[in-house]
Amino acid sequence: MKSYRKELTFNTTHRREFINITPYVDACLRESGIKEGLVLCNAMHITASVFINDDESGLHHDYEVWLEKLAPEKPHSQYRHNGFEDNADAHLKRQIMGREVVVAVTNGKLDFGTWEQIFYGEFDGKRAKRVLVKIIGE
């Protein structure tokens, strides 16, 4: 069995941002040479997510609105976690959008369902943050 590991780094210009990272994960898969196996992809920070969904801007706007209803960023004083930090909302948003995804690898390709793409969800950005890509198989 082969094993491959890589860290991707993202530094968003906004506090909250969604990035389609499918091309980066695809590049990792090609570099790994693995044809059959599994890809694990996870955010390495507790204020960011990796998730799978549609690459459609309306949907991404809907996520932003929905997440702001569930866990509004402001006022910062509404959260006990804030004080030293101001990112309590980002921890909560991360929880609901998830930490990681697992994608099957078949014939050297990411074996997606229709319209599936992998996204990095940033909720407390403007600094360098990492995503782990681990691939196992043969």
Closest approach of Zn ion to the CB of residue 82, in Å = 8
Give, for 18, the enclosing helix (H) or strand (E): strand 17-20
| Contact call for residues 65 and 71 (beta carbons, < 8 A) | no
Segment near Zn ion (CB under 5 A); pick from 7-15, 50-58, 79-87, 105-113: 79-87
Is 54 or 85 the residue whose CB approaches Zn ion more closely? 85
Of 98, 1, 84, 4, the residue nearest 46 (C-alpha): 98
Q: Which one of 85, 102, 106, 112 is in contact with Zn ion (CB under 5 A)?
A: 85
32 binds Zn ion (CB under 5 A): no
Number of H helices, E strands in the chain: 3, 8
Q: How many residues bind Zn ion (CB under 5 A)?
A: 2
Among the residue ranges 12-20, 49-57, 84-92, 111-119, the one whose residues contact Zn ion (CB under 5 A): 84-92
Q: Which of 104, 136, 119, 130 minimizes the C-alpha distance to 43?
A: 130
- 49 counts as binding Zn ion under rule CB under 5 A: no
Kindly list the residues in this chain that would bind Zn ion in the complex (CB under 5 A). Answer: 85, 87
